[in-house]
Chain A
Amino acid sequence: MEFQAVVMAAGGGSRMTDLTSSIPKPLLPVGNRPLLWYPLNLLERAGFEEVIVITRKEIQKMLNLDTKMKLDFVCISDNMDMGTADSLRHIHQKIKTDVLVLSCDLITDVDLYKVVDLFRTHDATLSMLMKKTHEPTEVVPGQKGKKKPVEQRDFIGVDDTGKRLLFMANEADLDEELVIKRSILQKHPRMHIRTGLMDAHLYCLKKYVVDFLVENRSITSLRSELIPHLVRKQFSSPTSLQQGLDNREEDQKKKEQASLDIYSFIKEDNSLLKPAADNSCWNDHRGDMNETLHEGKVRCYVHIMKEGLCYRVNTLGLYIEANRQVPKLLLNLGLEEPLVHGSAQITDRGMVGSDSIIGSSTQVGEKTSIKHSIIGSMCTIKDKVKITNCIIMNSVTIEEGCCLQGSVICHNAVIEKGADIKDCLVGSDQRLETKAKHVNEVIVGTEQLMEI
């Protein structure tokens, strides 16, 4: 078998607690499908037949996905607080070949073969996917004023071809200067450093990386620790090559360190291709006397998407934007479901916009106009309601005369008559009184506010 796919669905969604305090992140509805459906659909389209899904017990109970693949759920309990690397270590006995790790919040229509081909062709240690971020255009509820994104920037250095990943650092880890090792520049004199790239959290990893993780218990997160470590390791020599040591203690320590070094995990069976590489006249760089790939054993590659959709739904703004773009994505995938579900009862068809999605068993009253919105299933929307640019989840009741604009209404909320809501986030089970007027607010229950 060539690859095993692992989807990480145990995360909490720490950057959008307003939404995820009541609904676990993998179950957040995007285009009336749970968020977890999207990476699984990507894997199914690529041709995977089995997927390992790491998730929590309560999520597994609530999931019902219609997929032909065999899903192997591995449940980790909530109190263990595992990072992504910890989860991989937890399932390392199931991993027998190279692994493709996905996050549950990835919505993309990338051609997976582009990422995987880099991994195969260059016999790479790591191959990942990135996309140029663009400025969010939607107004995010709860945002006070025009705020700069809180997330720190990532500095990504790629070589001339744009495929080889040379450098990765996060602004949070740096003090004032960006430090680039001389060995990188000696081997790759031309490096392009980009800051506007978003990591899609889609990694192809070799099996020996998982073995390395098992031994190295200090690494907890893939994205923030393992990947930068691998990128740095490309240009640092294995510690076992260091010159002779006199001190025995030092020797011992070095031995321990050597055993944790990733080079010791790279099996030497790739040396059978060495005579072929020696006789071949391909070189990845020119201008110096070094052998191709500088004989480096650890190689990291990145595929940077130029066109197409790629979203990581980990903030509220991205959640709203993903909801906007998902109808287009579903259309491109050729899913023939009508946007308006068959069992929905809509009195005035004409007032429902052409790109709005309406879930099953939803009742929409007379003279209700719905434009550019996504409405979940089993909702009750009474007459004379105006809904524009909203995301309404399941089982929501909206009484007559309401006017909702640019808002997110979570499950089971009730909005009484005559309410005027603009750019708000209404949490689950909330009840807005009649004739309430809210602009740019986050309305959640008090117990939810206590979670930090």
Chain B
Amino acid sequence: MAERAAARGAGPEAAAPEGPQATELSREEKLQLRKEKKQQKKKKRSEKGPAAETPELGPPSEAGQPQVAAHPTSPPALADGPNDGEKPAGGKSKAELRAERRAKQEAERAQKQAKKAELSQAATAAKPRLTPTEPQSVVKRLPEHVQMDDPAAQRKLAKKLERQQVPLRQDYGTKVNLFSHLHQYSRKKPLTQQMSIPSTVIHPAVVRLGLQYSQGIINGSNARCIALLEVFKQLIRDYSTPPNEELSRDLVAKLKPHISFLNQCRPLSASMGNAIKFLKKEISCLPDTLREEEAKEKLQDTIDKYLREKILLAAEAISRSAFEKINDNDVILVYGCSSLVNRTLCDAHVKKGRAFRVIVVDSRPRLEGRETLRRLVRKGIHCTYVMINAISYVLPEVSKVLLGAHALLANGSVMSRVGTSQIALVSKAYNVPVLVCCETYKFCERVQTDSFVSNELDDPDDLILLRKGQAQLGGWAENKSLRLLNLVYDVTPPDLVDLVITDLGMIPCTSVPVVLRVKNVDQ
């Protein structure tokens, strides 16, 4: 606060005579000012110290406040002139000193407000100069999907959706307090309820995709991304530039409502987010000289290339690298249903003929392990199936754990299906190596250390089990003290993961930021 006040004080004064070059000068000036301030404060404290110590010893807490409050007074005092010399060292009583300080604070506050009024008048000119002078106050905007409990953010979202003519999906059921900032939707109330039947605003292929996402027919990071790219190809095919518009700008604007719609159906995954960023960049980098047909062709080719290289070939590469880690007579533990891990194991067994057996671990309510089991047994792999509560019983015989990932975060954490972190934790306790397979396009620049901040809440009604015709949790909504939580993802800390197998090779978890940096340089 003090620094900002100093900056505001220093900013217009330093910047007024000069132009935009003032930014760098004022930053250096500010640093200098700060140093001076600190020195002055030290001097002041040494002056005040012997005199003010005895009266201030009594109520130290109260003294703390005027001290803290005195700080904002000191930097403007610097600019104003040596006013602090007025304070006589000692002689005055504690209360009088406090009263003086308070009067000074009021004066300084009035001055600050006057300066703020000046600043706001010159705001438009001064703003680009002001913000760079406050290096600490760069606040990253939180994505709105983790701001469910902030009414202002929700109002903004509602306005944006209204503008794009996309319906807003209502939340369902009471949420657990820790996750009240996330959305929770019901599968029985699809978004199409609020849309007209032959959908005109949203392309029918996108409506179908959104329904398939929300009903869970297409799930899994890779599947969702592949389906998204194919639908984008179709969108581009059916797109025609309106007159007086540029394809590079208009197409991005046309894609936005569709992306909002898909986001409302089911929150976008990290892989989808990266694919969308890539596509937007490609579209905006299109040269203006291309005709519409050529531009559309080019875009479809780039999408095909991205799909082929980053997803399909990457899967092939990872399968080959991971094969080196699978030895004969290995016992491999897998969790849930990861398309990459399934492919690796099937290739190792069918194409290379390695002899190993697999333990498939499954968990409710999704029970995705059944699908893994079906695919592996179909290829002839010897499988065992257990629930997640039994992992400590099977781990003594496991030689390695192979996991899939939804995304890899910038601090090396692995975001994957809920339950993965537990598997990694128990494996670590049993000294079983944990290998994570993940393509580089799923690497994310987010940093997360816990599973609460950014997650996804699935339909809580999925947790209701029907046993002998009775659903014990059936009336959960009426019970005021009962909340159901159906988490989708969790975050595994990097120290529990031994190796990440990517299409760039086998890297430790901590090398993820390097890969991200290299990717950004490439692009």
Contact: A46 with B208, CB < 8 Å? Answer: no
Contact: B312 with A275, CB < 8 Å? Answer: yes
Contact: A280 with B223, CB < 8 Å? Answer: yes
Q: How far is the CB of B495 from chain A (nearest CB, A)?
A: 29
Answer whether residue A121 sits at the interface, using C-beta atoms and an 8 A cutoff: yes
Q: How far is the CB of B219 from chain A (nearest CB, A)?
A: 6
Max chain A C-beta neighbours (<10 A), residue from B207, B212, B230, B233: B212
Partner of A272 from B193, B217, B230 at Cβ < 8 Å: B230
Q: How far is the CB of B116 from chain A (nearest CB, A)?
A: 52
Contact: B198 with A48, CB < 8 Å? Answer: yes
Answer whether residue B192 sits at the interface, using C-beta atoms and an 8 A cutoff: yes
Answer whether residue B378 sits at the interface, using C-beta atoms and an 8 A cutoff: yes
Q: How far is the CB of A299 from chain B (nearest CB, A)?
A: 12
Contact: B230 with A121, CB < 8 Å? Answer: no
A-B residue pairs in contact (CB < 8 Å), sample of 7: A47-B195, A48-B197, A113-B195, A113-B197, A120-B208, A272-B230, A280-B218
Q: Which 8 A-B pairs have the closest CB atoms?
A: A47-B196, A281-B337, A280-B223, A276-B227, A279-B223, A279-B339, A2-B204, A46-B197
Given contacts A280-B218, A280-B219, A289-B377, contact A121 B227 (CB under 8 A): no
Q: Fill in one digit per residue for A241-252: 1 if any B CB lies within 8 Å of its CB, else 0.
A: 000000000000
Contact: B368 with A3, CB < 8 Å? Answer: no
Interface size on B, residues (CB 8 A): 37
User: Which B residues are CB-close (under 8 A) to A49?
Assistant: 198
User: Which A residues are CB-close (under 8 A) to B224?
Assistant: 276, 280
Chain B residue, CB-CB nearest to A293: B217
Contact: A113 with B193, CB < 8 Å? Answer: yes
Answer whether residue B215 sits at the interface, using C-beta atoms and an 8 A cutoff: yes
Answer whether residue B264 sits at the interface, using C-beta atoms and an 8 A cutoff: no
Contact: A276 with B230, CB < 8 Å? Answer: yes
User: Which A residues are CB-close (under 8 A) to B377?
Assistant: 289
Contact: A121 with B204, CB < 8 Å? Answer: no
User: Which A residues are CB-close (under 8 A) to B371?
Assistant: 281-283
Max chain A C-beta neighbours (<10 A), residue from B195, B196, B199, B217: B217
Given contacts A117-B190, A121-B215, A289-B374, contact A275 B226 (CB under 8 A): yes
Chain B residue, CB-CB nearest to A121: B211
Bound CA span A122–B337, Å: 21
Q: Fill in one digit per residue for A95-136: 1 if any B CB lies within 8 Å of its CB, else 0.
A: 000001000000000011100110011110000000000000
Bound CA span A112–B211, Å: 15
Q: Fill in one digit per residue for A42-69: 1 if any B CB lies within 8 Å of its CB, else 0.
A: 0000111100000000000000000000
Q: How far is the CB of B379 from chain A (nearest CB, A)?
A: 10
Contact: B192 with A281, CB < 8 Å? Answer: no
Partner of B230 from A3, A273, A283 at Cβ < 8 Å: A273
User: Which B residues are CB-close (under 8 A) to A3?
Assistant: 197-198
Bound CA span A286–B375, Å: 12
Chain A residue, CB-CB nearest to B234: A272
Answer whether residue B320 sits at the interface, using C-beta atoms and an 8 A cutoff: no
Bound CA span A116–B198, Å: 9
Bound CA span A47–B370, Å: 41
Bound CA span A418–B222, Å: 80
Partner of A279 from B195, B212, B216, B226 at Cβ < 8 Å: B226
Q: How far is the CB of A343 from chain B (nearest CB, A)?
A: 35
Partner of B219 from A100, A278, A281 at Cβ < 8 Å: A281
Bound CA span A85–B27, Å: 79
Contact: B222 with A123, CB < 8 Å? Answer: no
Q: How far is the CB of A298 from chain B (nearest CB, A)?
A: 18
Contact: A280 with B217, CB < 8 Å? Answer: yes
User: Which B residues are CB-close (under 8 A) to A286?
Assistant: 370, 374
Bound CA span A111–B192, Å: 11
Q: How far is the CB of A273 from chain B (nearest CB, A)?
A: 6
Answer whether residue A277 sits at the interface, using C-beta atoms and an 8 A cutoff: yes
Contact: B197 with A112, CB < 8 Å? Answer: yes
Bound CA span A289–B368, Å: 15
Answer whether residue B267 sits at the interface, using C-beta atoms and an 8 A cutoff: no
Contact: B198 with A117, CB < 8 Å? Answer: no
Bound CA span A225–B380, Å: 44
Contact: B378 with A279, CB < 8 Å? Answer: no
User: Which A residues are CB-close (under 8 A) to B230?
Assistant: 272-273, 276
Contact: B211 with A117, CB < 8 Å? Answer: yes
Answer whether residue A452 sits at the interface, using C-beta atoms and an 8 A cutoff: no
Chain B residue, CB-CB nearest to A284: B217
User: Which A residues are CB-close (under 8 A) to B337?
Assistant: 281
Bound CA span A279–B339, Å: 5
Answer whether residue B220 sits at the interface, using C-beta atoms and an 8 A cutoff: yes
Contact: B220 with A281, CB < 8 Å? Answer: yes
User: Which A residues are CB-close (under 8 A) to B227?
Assistant: 273, 276
User: Which A residues are CB-close (under 8 A) to B207?
Assistant: 2, 120
Bound CA span A151–B430, Å: 70
